[in-house]
Copies of this chain bind each other. A is one copy, B any other.
Amino acid sequence: MLKDFELYGNVDLAQNFIDSVKSGRFLFSFVISYTETSEIPGITFAGADKDSIQYTPPADAEYLHYGYCKTIDKIPMTPDGKPTPGLLTKTALESASISHLTINAGSKIVPQLPFIESGLPFGKNILVQDAMNDTIVSHAVEYGQILGRILASLTDCLLIGECIPGGTTTALALLKALDYDAKVSSSIPENPIELKNQIVTSALERIDSEHPYSIVAKIGDPMIPFVAGMLSSASSVSKVMLAGGTQMAAVLAFASKIGFNEENTAIGTTSYITNDETANFKELIHEISDIPILSVDPGMKNSKFSGLRAFSEGFAKEGVGAGGSIISSMLKTGNNSETLLNLAEKEYQRLFT
């Protein structure tokens, strides 16, 4: 199984993290959110068309839970039918009997299942206005801290994944605002870098304070301070694995301003993120914090289904905490990527035949 993993960053800490969680309990918390930045044409593929983007976060939560969606009539997919990375998350969590909870941190639409409510509004389009105000950011951090403390007390390793369409753009904006030389990944193979940079450059002009709360309010999204709050409290109680790529780099950058326990923290992601040559994920994380990156090759390049091979060809790359869920699942069960591929293909067949 470990042959499917690559460790980056603080490798000693990575090995320690793996050793201490593999015999423990895992809980996957799935944070759904929204930024109107996703409505800028061309910015995301997280949804079959512009109007459906807002349904992707609740639909991903419903799919994870029920195996089908209630808010929409198909599972979230790209315009040409490539499925949500939630397919990998669901396969991974189920095969390891890892429980999950959905958390609403500013989704425009609520999911049709019991979920944890944070009371946060969705984020505004950072191209044209501030995403939030400082009060909302304080609320996000505080409620994230409350929830992180509770959930961490119930498990040995709290996995945190997210779904916020358009979130790589707000993540890029926050990382740049905090002076990191970030090149971020995208859910689209042809990363619309020029468009993202235009949006970010324009948004950064509104920043008039160095306070991290003020910065994230102007150019971030509600997910970032909420998950950073969760990390800050949870990492003092249990191990925490941030399950994601670009967005989790932004969370980490913000969390490093409010404080968290590095010894208990790791990022778990897919090799599609760590091998993305258009981005600089590994260098970026190293610049932000001395925590390990656990990266897994989900092995989808060997699939007989083009819809699954697409993950290895630059579509989605990560999302719905897929990478961290696969890693946790493999650590708990000892399964390798061949087993995962087999299960993912069964799930793909169930959905599409």
Q: Does A143 contact B (CB under 8 A)?
A: yes
What's the nearest-Cβ distance from chain B to residue A308, in Å? 28
In whole angstroms, what is the CA distance A146 to B61 when docked? 13
In chain A, residues 109-163, which have Cβ atoms closer than 8 Å to a Cβ of chain B? 110, 112-119, 143, 146-147, 150, 153-155
User: When chains A and B are docked, how far (Å) is the Cα of A25 from the Cα of B25?
Assistant: 13
List the B residue with the shortest CB-CB distance to A153. Answer: B99
A27 to chain B: closest residue by CB: B154
- Given A27-B154, A154-B27, CB of A114 within 8 Å of CB of B99: no
Interface string of A94-108 (1 = CB under 8 A from B): 000101110110000
Residue contact A115 to B114, C-beta cutoff 8 Å: no
Q: Do residues A116 and B113 form an inter-chain contact, with CB atoms below 8 A?
A: no
A154-B114 contact, Cβ under 8 Å, with A65-B146, A146-B65: no
CA distance A115 to B143 in the complex (A): 10
For residue A147, which residues in chain B have a CB less than 8 angstroms away from its CB?
114
CB < 8 Å neighbour of A117 from B27, B110, B155 = B110
A157 CB to closest chain B CB (Å) equals: 13
B146 to A113, Cβ gap below 8 A? yes
Known: A104-B117, A110-B117, A114-B143. 14 other contacts (CB 8 A): A25-B154, A27-B154, A99-B154, A100-B150, A101-B150, A103-B114, A112-B119, A113-B143, A113-B146, A114-B116, A114-B117, A114-B146, A115-B116, A115-B117
Q: List A residues at the B interface (Cβ < 8 Å).
A: 25, 27, 65, 97, 99-101, 103-104, 110, 112-119, 143, 146-147, 150, 153-155
